Structure 1
Amino acid sequence: MLKRFSFVILIVCGVLFLFAGSRVLHTDRPQNDNEPVKEEVVNNQNESITPKASNKRTAKEQKVDEASKIYSSRYEIDRTKGKTVVLTFDAGADGSRLPEILDILSENHVKATFFLTGPFCERYPNLVKKITAYGFEVGNHSYAHKDMTTMSNEAIREDILKAQEIIIRTTGQDPRPWFRPPYGARDDRVREVLKSLGYETVYWTIDSLDWEDNMTVEREKNRIYNNLKDGSIILLHIGSKTTPIILSEMIKYFIGKGYRVTDLSGALR
């Protein structure tokens, strides 16, 4: 009788052990399944920036994490010259505000880099010539303004070289080594193609979003001032309605805070 009772106890204990073990395995499984997901998220942060991801920023303003941005693959901010702010202007559809922007920059004795597309140069050749006439540097912003991560290597080369030829012919200045990828979309493959053509990709640390139709001067100032740091590269647009209004005030604000305001060549080493 005692042996039979002991046998039953052993069976019950065995069942309980198996049940408990299955609960532990079930609890651990989701954690193991999540590990590849976490790794994928981390990898995605270091991969290409696409137009789709860029558009999400317009729904909700976010502070820029400078640590996650790359000025270029070969250059870094020269911090031996003091606190620095870099002004960069991308060419938009409208060039009518360019003379005003050039006058403001010149009056305040600061430099800036202008990223030009081929069509912008073709549409406004006389205005574009004023950029280098005023002593400002230019960079390449592509011809077709497409997401280059979706283009073949040969298509990227053709696009870049076409824009380069037009920029040189119009401004008399070689845009190399500065290239700003349309929408900020780039990955290692795109960077390698650009390097083979003598270019370095330049991103930004502060996106003013000054191209938005509903942008206001106060909102643009807040975006820039609240994210301002030593080494900031600010993305502005030639066709913006708000930037020319606040540009002079913005420059004075930077200088008042002890920053030197310059272009990429004056800031990177």
Structure 2
Amino acid sequence: MEFGLLGDVEVRVDGRVVDVGHARQRCVLAVLLVEVNRLVPVDALVDRVWGEHVPHRARNAAAGYVSRLRQALPGVRITGRQGGYVLTADPMSVDLHRFHALLERTPDEAVLGEALRLWRGEPFSTVDTPWFSALRTALEARRFAAVLDRNDLLLARGRHAGLPAELEAMADAFPLDERLAGQLVLALYRCGRQADALMRYDQVRVRLADELGADPGPELRLLHQRILTADLEPPGRVDTLWSSVERLRRDLDDLTRRLHRLTG
């Protein structure tokens, strides 16, 4: 059984989507999955699901939703105790917890790619209670940071060819993010589009001045200067270095597996 929160709330059994009820009932399930294996007091559950619009007899309504979830998901254990509920499951069966666990590992392209592929859309898009809104904002911020980390790895390895279009769309959505702007400027320059790179730098410089009354930070200014003077590391040399590192990592992993077999 797999639980999805990074998009519409859904449950899959053997790859098949299971009907877990209407929107409010799915909200109850989402709260219990976010806090999987931890007690959620009834008052906290009510606050998170209804926010400021708590209905009459909300505690009874919550109990009814939990009862129906038990019927819809007979393989899932939802226990009532100490004035609250606990949903017991493997946290790695919940995409949200798997996403966080992957980002806690040493970041590399494969790990970040796996984490980002867990996202199916905007989490809790139909829910606007303060708790869900704050959680959604925090999750999207962490996803954005993971995308930027992945971009840095791709650029460091000279794999810039496919990046400009994606980075341009992101930069249009987040025009004041200097790290993203630097990635776009560098990718454009590495693709032989120096004029476009300098134009993008000027756009973010003007926007920062107009909206924040600030100049670009030192890293972005240095990148701009190095483009003007053609003082950037050739991507081929960077890619060669990373290829050597990747080969060494694979050799070490292979050696570790062999030693484990010999000593096991």
Q: TM-score, normalised by structure 2?
A: 0.28
> Which protein is bigger by CA-based radius of gyration?
1
Higher relative contact order (CA closer than 8 Å, sequence separation 6+): 1
